């Protein structure tokens, strides 16, 4: 069919309703970006209400040979929700029902637009919660978490999204609706569920998600230890894990981040603090008491200059505040930031952190570190001012060097934010052409081709990352996104 944009928009309006289709330039502005530093304008935006509308939209766009880009809350950090190549953006924000909760079997079925934290709040009445907890959990949605295989501070002990999703209802590229996995904990056959989770919207569109729930722990202890050197802090992380204790979370912030959070949250860390560790353990009361004492001992042997601990929910929230709110506080230092997501072995934390510090000095960029230390998932934040000539280019170059450091250390390009636009050009650092070709064959196997989220994940030979940056894409202090 010959492409006719006006006719396509008219037919989208007939499916979803005119009020749920955006196509005017001024209406498309808010859909040009996600939490990354990349930007592109969609051909149009459609916000369906149910699976039948999604199916009809998929069939229509296939008829017009126009690609679809699924979008959740737009909190992603790798450009995954950016609509490249004149794509239509399909926004799943109206899919926000919690369809069912099976308390006895500790499972739930939800729509992809359900906000992560809202699910835990809903099931708390039964003493349950949903474990994966990205720091953007008050805004990000379950569907987006599935697309990126999101993690969070507590994935150290409990695993990332794929460990807590049993299956999902998916609309394929031909408009057919299928289940991958199911609503029970075990299903026979190939694990197509596992292939879909983390596929970044390139294989289909999830319209329902069946998740595992967990009992709220009997006791939780949150500890904060301050250190006068980054080496002491990184050594403490290794020592805790090597001792046989696996905390629910081990988080770290560095000196630059401490300087940013102090004026906002007034934690009162010692002035000579170079790093702060936040460690949390949960479980049976007796176990938590024993493990907390053990961890405190390790921190003190490694020279902590200030140690705080509490099992009181209000006080625990205060101890978490500087970690949870660190990204927003960077506005104290620079107006913009670029968040890099890489992974290194825990034993290489000290060396890689030193190299990142040296890199910042070498390239004259300010790098703040706030990250999931327990599983080596680094989140260096490169702080910059977009108004300075060359600042964006220098920032992207620094991000590339950091990713190279992670891979050289035996790590990975992404721990939880995905590849998207941001890292696709660097996939060759980890995979050879045969590896990439094998992964790419999943798309035709699902019948997707370039129907969904084109020009993402795999190298294209085009300079996509940062090339579309223009104006203030992301201002610090507006969202909590790590």
Architecture of domain 5-91: 2-Layer Sandwich (3.30)
Strands lying side by side in the sheet with 107-110: 98-102, 107-110, 205-212, 165-171, 177-181
Cα gap 116→136, rounded to integer Å: 9
* Extended beta strands in 393-458, E state: none
Cα gap 342→324, rounded to integer Å: 19
pTM: 0.93
Please tell me whether residue 64 adopts helix, strand or coil conformation: coil
Buried-state track 220-257, b at ≥16 Cβ within 10 A, e below 16? bbbbbbbbbbbbbbbbbbbbbbeeebebbbbbbbbbbb
Report in angstroms the alpha-carbon separations of 318 from 155, 274, 285, 311.
21, 20, 21, 11
Strands lying side by side in the sheet with 380-384: 306-310, 219-227, 275-283, 249-254, 366-371, 380-384, 336-339
Give Cβ neighbours of residue 290 (< 8 Å, ≥ 6 apart): none
Element (DSSP H or E) covering residue 342: strand 342-343
- The fold of the 219-324 domain, in CATH, is Alpha-Beta Plaits (3.30.70)
Q: Which pLDDT does position 473 carry in this prediction?
A: 35
DSSP state string for 460-481: -SS--TTTT--S-S--TTS---
Please tell me whether residue 95 adopts helix, strand or coil conformation: coil
CA angle 405, 411, 413 (to 5 degrees): 75
Domain residue spans in the chain? 5-91, 98-215, 219-324, 329-445
* pLDDT per residue of the chain (482 residues) written in tens, 0 to 9: 457 999 999 999 999 999 999 999 999 999 998 988 889 999 999 999 999 999 999 999 999 999 999 999 999 999 999 999 999 999 999 999 999 999 999 999 999 999 999 999 999 999 999 999 998 999 999 999 999 999 999 999 999 999 999 999 999 999 999 999 999 888 889 999 999 999 999 999 999 999 999 999 999 999 999 999 999 999 999 999 999 999 999 999 999 999 999 999 999 999 999 999 999 999 999 999 999 999 999 999 999 999 999 999 999 999 999 999 999 899 989 999 999 999 999 999 999 999 999 999 999 999 999 999 999 999 999 999 999 999 999 999 999 999 999 999 999 999 999 999 999 999 999 999 999 999 999 999 999 999 999 999 999 887 677 655 444 333 333 333 33
Domains 219-324 and 329-445 share a fold: yes
Query: Helices 313-324 and 255-265, interaxial angle, to 10°?
Result: 130
Class of domain 98-215: alpha beta
Q: Which pLDDT does position 1 carry in this prediction?
A: 45
| DSSP H helices in 364-422 | 391-408
| Domain 329-445 part of CATH 3.30.70.2740 | yes
């Amino acid at each position: 069919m010959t492409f006719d944009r006006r006719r396509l928009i008219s037919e989208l309006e007939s499916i979803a309703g005119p009020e749920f289709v955006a196509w005017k330039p001024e209406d498309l502005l808010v859909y040009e970006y996600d939490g990354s530093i990349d930007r592109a304008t969609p051909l149009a935006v459609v916000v369906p209400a149910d699976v039948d509308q999604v199916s009809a939209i998929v069939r229509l766009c296939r008829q017009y040979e126009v690609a679809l880009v699924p979008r959740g809350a737009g909190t992603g950090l790798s450009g995954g929700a950016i609509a490249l190549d004149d794509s239509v953006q399909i926004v799943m924000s109206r899919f926000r029902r919690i369809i069912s909760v099976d308390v006895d079997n500790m499972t739930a079925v939800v729509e992809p637009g359900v906000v992560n934290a809202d699910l835990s709040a809903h099931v708390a009445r039964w003493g349950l919660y949903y474990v994966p907890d990205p720091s953007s959990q008050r805004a990000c949605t379950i569907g987006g978490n599935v697309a990126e295989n999101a993690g969070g501070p507590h994935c150290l002990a409990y695993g990332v999204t794929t460990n807590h999703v049993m299956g999902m209802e998916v609309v394929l590229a031909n408009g057919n609706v299928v289940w991958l996995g199911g609503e029970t904990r075990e299903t026979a056959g190939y694990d197509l569920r596992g292939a879909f989770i983390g596929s970044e919207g390139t294989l289909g569109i999830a319209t329902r998600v069946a998740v595992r729930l967990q009992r709220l722990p009997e006791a939780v202890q949150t500890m904060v230890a301050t250190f006068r050197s980054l080496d002491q802090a990184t050594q403490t992380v290794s020592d805790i894990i090597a001792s046989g204790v696996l905390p629910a979370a081990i988080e770290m912030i560095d000196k630059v981040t401490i300087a940013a959070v102090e004026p906002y949250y007034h934690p009162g860390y010692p002035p000579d603090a170079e790093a702060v560790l936040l460690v949390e353990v949960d479980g049976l009361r007796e176990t938590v008491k024993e493990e907390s004492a053990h961890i405190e001992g390790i921190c003190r042997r490694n020279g902590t200059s200030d140690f705080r601990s509490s099992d009181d929910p209000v006080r625990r929230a205060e101890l978490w505040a500087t970690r949870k709110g660190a990204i927003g506080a960077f506005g104290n230092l620079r107006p913009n930031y670029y968040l890099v997501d890489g992974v290194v072995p825990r034993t290489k934390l000290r060396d890689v952190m030193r190299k990142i510090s040296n890199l910042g000095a070498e390239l004259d960029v300010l790098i703040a570190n706030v990250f999931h230390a327990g599983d080596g998932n680094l989140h260096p934040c490169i702080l910059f001012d977009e108004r300075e000539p060359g600042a964006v280019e220098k920032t992207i170059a620094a991000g590339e060097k950091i990713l190279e450091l992670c891979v050289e250390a035996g790590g990975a390009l992404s721990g939880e934010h995905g590849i998207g636009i941001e890292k696709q050009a660097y996939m060759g650092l980890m995979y050879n052409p045969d590896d990439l070709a094998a992964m790419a064959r999943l798309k035709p196997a699902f019948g997707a081709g370039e129907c969904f989220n084109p020009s993402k994940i795999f190298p294209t030979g085009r300079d996509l990352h940062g090339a579309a940056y223009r104006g203030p894409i992301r201002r610090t202090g507006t969202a909590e996104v790590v």
